[in-house]
Amino acid sequence: MQHEQVETAARAVAEAIESEARLQEESLMMIASENVASPAVREAQGSILTNRNALGYPDSRLYPGSENIDDVESLAIAYAEELWGAEHVNVQPHSGSLANLAVYLAALDPGDTILTLHPRDGGHITHGADLHVSGDLYETAHYELDPASGRLDYDAIARRADDVDPDMIVSGYSSYPRTIDWERFQEIAETVDAYHLADIAHVSGLIATGAFPSPVGVAEFCTGSTYKTIKTGRGGIIMCDEEYAEAVDEALFPGLQGGAAMPNIAGKAAGFAEALDDDFDEYVDRTIGDARALADALSDRGIDVVTDGTDTHIVLVDLRDSHGDLPGSEAETALEAAGIIANKASVPGDPRYPSDASGVRFGTTSLAARGFDETAMNAVADLIVRALDGAGDEQALEELSAEVKRLCA
């Protein structure tokens, strides 16, 4: 590439980032797995730590000159231990997906059986889905949500575990808005002599403040990504009992990954430290308060909210009653045209393929981080319903997007 071409390419990247900044400012960002990282987290993520190839763990790196990166990683581990009270923490996973895979590799043999939530009911792809390597390596069996209530039915899960006799039971989900009884899951797992992996990707921030029950110290393994409710640097985390520490660490490095992503780990350290502050408790309370207010405001406007509410940052709506002909995929497109960024989602017992789905998942993590409070959720609900009603009407959606920009401003 000529020098001018390189400059043009660099400018194109910079312009795309500037456009992204405008999009985030002027839209209602409601993807439940996203958040707004603090300036400290962003600075850490953009730091010169990217120059280092951090192979190994603190005090046992493969390359010399590692004292500073060891400090960064040790701080991230110490803050995480303080937040969640885990016996052992690994902050190196490049993603929540790799965190899950490392646990499987550490605890299971190929061909072992994992019992997980059915994908149609919101089970995660890394929990043994066909499209994921976990579905190739292990036998997968599913439990389901109660289609009438949209909730976990622990007695049915216990019966299913008894039938399947799994080696591992996975709990924790991407679009389940209600409290999870981790102890009950553990009891079920112990009854069938299975490990219990609690995937807390979505709720780790809520757990850190005590706003959601904790599976840490209950399940043998807890995993998650680190940029949803916890809003730190990008990547994943594994927490486990000390007896599994060595197996988990080795499964991740060198089993799955090479050098640790030190800028991300610095971002995790910065974000975990922020989450230890009282301000973070307020943030989590606002996030859940916003979600509850949004659920109420949508219900008041005739939208079917799955489980009639939420205990988390997630509001899952089923459009079949209110907008029967509108699949989640088309609802997502209409919302996007109006400046509301939220994703289609399957609902319990969904008759549609996941690529269409019958619902939409809304999250309040980013809005709460931007200061949207419970009273603002009435206006947000109003805009959501008008966008759904206006699906297919380009002019109406464009007019709505101007209103969304005004609200964001």
Q: By beta-carbon distance, which residue lies closest to ligand DSN? A: 33
29 near 366, Cβ under 8 Å?
A: yes
262 near 277, Cβ under 8 Å?
A: no
How far does CA 103 lie from the centroid of its chain?
18
Alpha-carbon distance 68 to 382, whole Å?
A: 50
Alpha-carbon distance 128 to 140, whole Å?
A: 6
Burial of 407 (0-12, 13-18, 19+ CB in 10 A): middle
Smallest separation, CB 314 to ligand DSN (Å):
9
**C-beta closer to ligand DSN: residue 348 or 390:** 348
Smallest separation, CB 67 to ligand DSN (Å):
34
Q: Does 257 bind ligand DSN (CB under 6 A)?
A: no
Among 52, 61, 120, 124, binds ligand DSN (CB under 6 A): 124
Question: What six digits make up the tokens of 23?
Answer: 């999009």
Smallest separation, CB 335 to ligand DSN (Å):
16
Among residues 32, 75, 80, 72, the alpha carbon closest in space to that of 50 is found at 72
Among 27, 33, 209, 364, binds ligand DSN (CB under 6 A): 33
The size of the interface with ligand DSN (CB under 6 A), counted in residues, is 4
Site string for ligand DSN, 201-230 (x = CB under 6 A): ------------------------x-----
List the alpha helices (DSSP H) in 138-261. Answer: 154-164, 182-191, 204-208, 245-252
**C-beta closer to ligand DSN: residue 58 or 363:** 363
Site string for ligand DSN, 74-113 (x = CB under 6 A): ----------------------------------------
Peptide bond preceding 254 in cis form (omega within 30 of 0): yes
- Report the site for ligand DSN in 162-181 (rule: CB under 6 A): 174
Site residues, ligand DSN (CB under 6 A)? 33, 124, 174, 225
